[in-house]
């Protein structure tokens, strides 16, 4: 059986780790194997073979990368040598509480471990999931950063054309970073004033959107449309199949790296005007809260943010805003526009 190439596996150890999951699968009916205790590392290898391989389509690339990261950094180093029957809820719970991580990260580790054991049950590697008894909350210790309309306006004014267009588009649509940089010009319909969200890009790997609800089109405000037209005139990559934010360094074949632009240009500009701790998701949270501030209907908010459930919209993304931000506005975009200067 061919399991890969020498380019994929750097040494014998890597190759043996890759086939450990296959051994479990092939020998699953062998009574000699059944009486031998299986370790967490072996279960992880089996899970990788069945669920995280590159050709598996039912998980997005970002999900695979996230799972691999948590497995490699936290689960395997701590529990890899333990046999499945020696894992108990109490020990796992105490370990999670000892980690200097956000509650949401601890909850992610807990959930991934639970997924592992459910996978083992499904493939008759184990019969019980001890992680289902592990208590671990995911409630945030602090609220995420949300910008006011005037702060977004100041930030936009302080940026160059590329970053200004990106921030305006993100704060005015609530797109996820993976969706923002996956846009192509054919997705922008200036006539019908709509933006089609059909793909995402994570670590320069193109894949499907996060959920089915994420693929719904979003409206294109006239002010946003004008900003995109200006950017299209500036960029050398303006064909329908070109990335909207194509990178010249990659000859337009790939979009820019979003985190690089955030770290090198947007965040420093934000610090200069007194805004700290922002990231791309800050603009999604900001869009949600400003929608709420303008008294948008919850169903409209849910569909604008493309959430599968309105509860996610209210519980996770929307925060109360001060009285100064409760002034009625027809559109969130208008909040970002500088006031017109009257003629003398």
Per-residue confidence band for 73, with pLDDT thresholds at 50, 70 and 90: very high
Predicted pLDDT at 3: 73
Q: Please name the residue ranges forming H helices in 123-209.
A: 149-157, 161-171, 177-180
Cα separation, 74 vs 110, in Å, equals 10
CA–CA separation, 214 and 227 (whole Å): 23
Rounded to an integer, the average pLDDT of 104-111 is 92
Q: Where in the chain is the domain with CATH 1.10.150.130?
A: 12-133
Q: Which fold has domain 149-336?
A: hpI Integrase; Chain A (1.10.443)
Average pLDDT value for residue range 62-85:
92
pLDDT at site 327: 38
| 7-11, 41-45, 169-173: least confidently modelled range | 7-11
The answer on pLDDT for 232 being more than 80 is yes
pLDDT band at 71 (very low <50, low <70, confident <90, very high): very high
Residues of the chain with pLDDT > 70: what percent? 78
Work out the mean pLDDT of the chain and round it to a whole number.
82
pLDDT value at residue 339:
66
What does the pLDDT average to over 198-226? 80
- Lowest-confidence segment of 78-92, 131-145, 157-171 by average pLDDT: 131-145
Arithmetic mean of pLDDT, 210-238 = 85
**Lowest mean per-residue pLDDT among 5-9, 211-215, 220-224, 236-240:** 211-215
How confident is residue 203, by pLDDT bands cut at 50, 70 and 90? confident
For residue 295, name the pLDDT band (cuts at 50, 70, 90).
confident
Q: What is the mean pLDDT of residues 84-104?
A: 92
- For the cut 70, the answer to whether the pLDDT of residue 49 exceeds it is yes
Cβ atoms of 258 and 266 within 8 Å: the answer is no
pLDDT(321) > 70: no
pLDDT of residue 163: 97
Domain with CATH 1.10.443.10 in the chain: 149-336
Residue closest to 21 by CA, chosen among 63, 71, 58, 73: 71
pLDDT at residue number 329: 32
Predicted confidence band of residue 319 (pLDDT cuts 50, 70, 90): very low
The 10 Å CB-count burial string (b at 16+, else e) for 51-60 is bbeeeeeeeb
Q: In the predicted model, what is the mean pLDDT of residues 15-42?
A: 69
Crossing angle (nearest 10°) for helices 40-47 and 12-26? 90
pLDDT score at 276: 85
CA–CA separation, 144 vs 65, rounded Å? 23
> Is 218 within 8 Å of 192 (Cβ atoms)?
no
Q: Which fold has domain 12-133?
A: DNA polymerase; domain 1 (1.10.150)
């Amino acid at each position: 059986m061919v399991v890969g190439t020498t380019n994929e596996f750097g040494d014998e150890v890597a190759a043996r780790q890759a086939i450990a999951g296959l051994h479990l699968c092939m020998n699953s009916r062998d009574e000699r194997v059944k009486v031998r205790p299986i370790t967490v590392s072996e279960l992880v290898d089996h899970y990788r073979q069945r669920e995280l391989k590159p050709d598996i389509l039912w998980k997005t690339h970002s999900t695979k990368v996230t799972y691999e990261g948590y497995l490699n950094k936290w689960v395997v180093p701590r529990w890899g040598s333990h046999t499945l029957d020696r894992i108990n809820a109490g020990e796992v719970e105490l370990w999670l509480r000892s980690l200097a991580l956000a509650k949401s990260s601890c909850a992610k580790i807990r959930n991934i471990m639970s997924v592992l054991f459910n996978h083992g049950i499904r493939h008759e590697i184990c019969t019980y999931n001890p992680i289902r008894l592990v208590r671990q909350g995911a409630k945030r210790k602090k609220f995420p950063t949300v910008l006011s309309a005037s702060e977004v306006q100041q930030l936009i004014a302080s940026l160059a054309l590329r970053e200004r267009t990106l921030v305006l588009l993100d704060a005015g649509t609530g797109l996820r970073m993976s969706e923002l940089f996956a846009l192509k010009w054919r997705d922008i319909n200036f006539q019908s004033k709509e933006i089609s969200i059909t793909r995402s890009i994570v670590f320069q790997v193109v894949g499907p959107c996060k959920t089915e609800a994420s693929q719904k089109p979003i409206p294109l405000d006239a002010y946003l449309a004008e900003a995109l037209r200006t950017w299209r005139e500036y960029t050398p990559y303006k064909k329908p199949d070109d990335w909207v934010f194509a990178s010249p360094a990659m000859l337009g074949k790939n979009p820019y790296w979003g985190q690089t632009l955030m770290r090198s240009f947007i965040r420093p500009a934000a610090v200069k005007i007194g805004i700290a701790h922002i990231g791309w998701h800050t603009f999604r949270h900001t869009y949600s809260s400003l929608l709420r501030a303008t008294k948008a209907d919850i169903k409209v908010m849910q569909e604008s943010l493309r959430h599968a459930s309105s509860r996610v919209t209210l519980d996770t993304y929307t925060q109360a805003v001060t009285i100064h931000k409760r002034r009625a506005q027809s559109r969130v975009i208008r909040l970002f526009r500088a006031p017109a200067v009257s003629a003398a």
